[in-house]
Every structure is written in C-alpha cells, then in structure tokens.
Chain A
C-alpha cells in the first residue's frame, strides 16, 4: 500500500499519515490476530493465576461489557432524591410528580439513544424496567444495581468534575460483587455501573430538554446522561471531535449533536460512537457493517522503537482514524498499536483494526494515524497498563508466559502505515 504524507516538511513528532482504502477490497485485509485494537473501549486482562475455567484460558485483553444474552438483563434504577438548596436538576414542571416524570423521560431518552443503534444487539429489550429508589446513596458498587444519582455527594467530586461513571468489571468467571449478587459469566463482564452528577454546587445545574431554553446557564441533562451512559455500556473517551464520547461536551445551554427523535433515536451519536457500540455488542445478522481495515503503524526508523521492553515492533500507542470519503465524517477511531492472539499476551507491534465498518463498492475510507509519542501520553496510558498487560510486578505469582509490559512512549516518531497482508 502506498502512503501519502500530507506535509513532508512538518515536525516529525506531529506527522500525519493518510492512506485511502476501499472497503470493497478490504475483505482481503482481514485481521490475522484474534483481536487487535480496542476502539476506545474498556478492556481487562483475565487473572491467569486462576484455572482456565475461571480465567477463560487467555491473557488477551477482553472488552468490558454487559451480559446481554438474556432479555432485560441490564437492570437500571435512579434515585429520586434531588437536592433542592441549591437545586441540581432544573425542570419545566414544578410539581414533584411532574419533575420526577420529566427527569425519568430524560433518562429514558438517553438510554434509547444507545439502544437505537442498528447493527448492535444492545436493544431496548436488553434493558430491565427503569426503577426508582428514594435512597440518596444508591450509587454503591457492591449492590449490582446500575444506578443514576443526582444527590450523592461522593468524595470523588473535585474542582471541575461535573459527573462521572464508576464501572466495575470482573477479571474472572464466577466473580460476585457481594453475596447474593449474580456471578460474572465471562471475563470483562460489567457487574455494576453507577453514574453520579455533582450535587449541591451553586455554579453547576443540569436542565431537562424541556427546561434548557429557559435555563441557558445549565448543562443539558440529556447530553450529560447520554455520555455517561456510554461509559456504563463500556466506552472510554473518544478522541474524535463531535463524538458523544468526546470528553468535552457542549457548554451550558447547548446540546450534544441533535436531539433524538422517534425515527432517529440515536441521532445524538456520531458514526464513531455507533461503530464502537457495534464492536461492543455486535449483531451477527448485521449485513451492512461487515467491513474491516487493519494494518500497522510503524516508525520510519525502526531504531526509534523503545529498547525495553523487548519485542516492541511497532508504534504504541497510536490514534488511527477512518474517515468516510463520501461523507467526510469519521467512521471510526481507535487507540491502537497492539494485537493479541490467544492465549496471549498482547504484542506491541503497531497493529490497528477498525471493525464493523459499512462495506460495499460505494464505501471508501481514508486512514489517518497519529503516533502518541511523547510524555503527554503517560497519564492516559498508565491507566491502561493493567487493562492490556499484567506481570509479576502488578501481580505476584503471575505466570511468565502470560506476562507483558506496556512500553513507555519513546522518542518522537516519523511514521508510516502499512496494511496487513
């Protein structure tokens, strides 16, 4: 595959590379490893000190996601405890019942955004009924209840934190949160996901869609919830401008994307969000999103690769983006640079794989890659250390054959992209 450098004279550390590919010809580029890349989805490595029936027998990173094999298996509740002085949630209705209904509608619509994506098995039927609780401290990671709290003043809140979602997943099969809660059925299963919005902050309020116009200094509750629910379903932040999972949402008074409608419940999402959801919860009967683009991001000078740990043969991490040539929109983006074939561990070979893309003769994509090549990446990558690799440092008694170490970002790279054979 030829590579066209956009700006040959630009700084080496900020080099962009682009490759134009046609998905019609991409069936030849099927991934060779069992799994590569991760979009911006959470991953976890099984505890390989356990027996295979508990670990699943592979140290390849597994996606963190809900078990949706049974209808209604994702339970949901929200706490109707609302701070009033100062108010956190602003509604158009002023009666208590009216306020509760309005907030509940916003939650339902935010959930429907994610269950309205075609080509994914996450559907309205995957969710249990939305329950209410009057408990103020309903967002506990030990109860196995996926809760939304508007009045829980968690010590996690600090300056600038508007909302966060705490997602608890298991690294073994058969793991319980606490006695009485259902055990995990696969490695990476999300057992509890709680969303908290900052309460009692006189400078921070959230308004329902009906109330936003009259409260332009408030954040749009539906946009905030939709983003946070994306985390609860297994998403990390996306590096794509305009994606729902982009970490920065609209300023107060503004809406992320467009409002959902009955005909387009997933309207607020970008294609990057939709593609990620299709990877997380794929629908085997989907005949549209069956394309894949894979390859490697390599340094022009192999000597630029880190010496330690041994075996690093490509750039890690790198951000790889597939731009739809026809629409000019981002079809998918991944934080990549590794691959894994069972039984693992992960290999840092610069691999990327963009999966679940719309395929067909009319579909063509342009690939952009950005090596994340400076100390800037440390903070983000360190969080991924235990989600891609485990070893005797992170886990005493860890079997050597399943051990790997996430390489530290090396010197600034000059990169080229190469498609898989």
Chain B
C-alpha cells in the first residue's frame, strides 16, 4: 500500500514537473507577454473598476481605433477622473473592419476591472490587453460578484493529456481579487520607495 502511494506521489511529482516545464517553455506570447498580477500592477498607472458607457470606432493616422467610454466606479491604484476613454486598436468604420486578435471588446453596461496605462494618442490603454481585463459578473449559484480574466477565456487543448485546461484568474470573488490587487500594489510601492 505504501509502495503504491509512493509510486502515485512520484508520478504526480513527475507530472507536475512536466507541466511546469511546459509552462516555462511557453512563458511569453507572440503578441502578448504573459504577465503576473504583480507585473500588471507594477506596469499600470491606474487600476479601476469601470462600467462601459459607449463604444465608437474611427480612423486616426492611417488605422482604425475603438474608443471605449468608461465610467470609473472604484479606483484601486492611481488617480482617475470620473469618466475616461480607453483606446484599443481595431474596430469597424463603414464597410471596413480592422481586426487585432488579443484586444478585449466591450459593450455598454459591461463592468470590468482594468489595468490602465496612459496612451500616447490620448486617453488610456489596457496593459496586456486581454490580460489586463477582468470582467465582473454575478455567480448564479452564490449571487456574489466574481472576476474573470479575459485571457483565461482560452481553454487550451493539450493533446498529450487529452484534456482542456485554462489558466489565469477565473470566477474569483471580487473582494478576494481586490485584496490581491491591493497587496500587489503595496508590494510594488514598497519596492519603488
């Protein structure tokens, strides 16, 4: 019995090693670098809970941009005005659509916690695009609010394991997430002081 448990432990250890090796090997993205919550917090000028109030797209300097109007509901880092504009590449103008895979899209009414950086073209942009976007929804079972990272939408199929898996933050209670953001911001403040 002990031998069996030991064998199982060794197998699990080996599986964990293989799994972690795979993740280290694929640690960065073609379009996006994989960012931890600490990296997102450190690299963002502001972190805020926002509600989308409007979306529009237009041509600017030879490319199509989507401008998302956001109402700031709560600020977790930095100082923001009550209303901000988030600028993202891509969108539809007239009969032309510019697609940029990896950018989040918003509809009026959507609530999210965003990691924001000032955009050189005005307004803000989202750090890491889908990685810095955490949607807020209500858990139908508990009624509580949860956050889910956009980049965790990607259910990955691993042929070796013959299974789907996801990464990132999924269905985390808002209060827990808020505490984690606060801790990440505090750690970063401590380092930069």
- Distance in Å from the Cβ of A272 to the closest Cβ of chain B? 9
Contacts of B150 in A (CB 8 A): 378-380
Query: 8 other contacts beyond A158-B119, A159-B132, A376-B171, with CB at 8 A cut-off?
Result: A16-B164, A162-B32, A164-B31, A204-B33, A242-B159, A248-B29, A249-B30, A376-B135
CA distance A376 to B152 in the complex (A): 6
Residue of B nearest to A7 (CB): B163
- Number of residues of chain B lying within 8 A (CB) of chain A: 77
Residue in B30, B130, B148 whose CB lies within 8 Å of A228:
B30
Known: A155-B119, A380-B153. A374 touches B171 (CB 8 A): yes
Interface residues of B in 83-127 (CB under 8 A from A): 87-90, 92, 95-107, 110, 115, 117, 119-121, 125-127
Q: Determine if A372 is an interface residue (Cβ-Cβ < 8 Å).
A: yes
Residue in B100, B117, B128, B159 whose CB lies within 8 Å of A164:
B100
Contact B62 A161, beta carbon cutoff 8 Å: no
Contact B159 A382, beta carbon cutoff 8 Å: no
Residue in A162, A166, A204, A374 whose CB lies within 8 Å of B90:
A166
Known: A166-B89, A167-B99. A160 touches B127 (CB 8 A): yes
Q: Determine if B15 is an interface residue (Cβ-Cβ < 8 Å).
A: no
- Distance in Å from the Cβ of B148 to the closest Cβ of chain A? 5
CA distance A204 to B137 in the complex (A): 35
Looking at chain B's contact residues, is the secondary structure mostly helix, strand, loop, or mixed?
mixed
- Distance in Å from the Cβ of B152 to the closest Cβ of chain A? 5
Measuring CB to CB, which residues of chain A are less than 8 angstroms from any residue of chain B? 14, 16, 18, 42, 44, 47, 64, 137, 140-143, 154-156, 158-172, 175, 177, 191, 204, 219, 223-224, 227-228, 231, 236-237, 239-242, 246-252, 254, 319, 321, 323, 328-330, 333, 366, 368, 370, 372, 374-383, 385-387, 411
Contact B127 A252, beta carbon cutoff 8 Å: no
Stretch at the interface among B19-27, B175-183, B184-192: B19-27
Contact B155 A370, beta carbon cutoff 8 Å: yes
Residue in B62, B105, B160 whose CB lies within 8 Å of A382:
B105
Contact A249 B157, beta carbon cutoff 8 Å: no
Contact B63 A241, beta carbon cutoff 8 Å: no
CA distance A249 to B121 in the complex (A): 29
Q: Of A158, A240, A374, which is in contact with the most chain B CB atoms at under 10 Å from its CB?
A: A158
CA distance A93 to B2 in the complex (A): 60
Residue in B101, B129, B159 whose CB lies within 8 Å of A330:
B159
Contacts of B102 in A (CB 8 A): 161, 164, 237, 247
Contacts of A228 in B (CB 8 A): 30-31
Measuring CB to CB, which residues of chain B are less than 8 angstroms from any residue of chain A? 22, 24-35, 39-40, 43-44, 59, 62-64, 87-90, 92, 95-107, 110, 115, 117, 119-121, 125-133, 135, 137, 140, 146, 148-160, 162-164, 166, 170-171
CA distance A251 to B127 in the complex (A): 20
CA distance A383 to B106 in the complex (A): 8
Residue of A nearest to B126 (CB): A158
CA distance A252 to B27 in the complex (A): 9
Q: Of B35, B121, B125, which is in contact with the most chain A CB atoms at under 10 Å from its CB?
A: B125
Q: Of B25, B26, B115, B132, which is in contact with the most chain A CB atoms at under 10 Å from its CB?
A: B26
Contacts of A219 in B (CB 8 A): 28
Q: Of A191, A248, A372, which is in contact with the most chain B CB atoms at under 10 Å from its CB?
A: A248
- Distance in Å from the Cβ of B110 to the closest Cβ of chain A? 8
CA distance A383 to B129 in the complex (A): 13
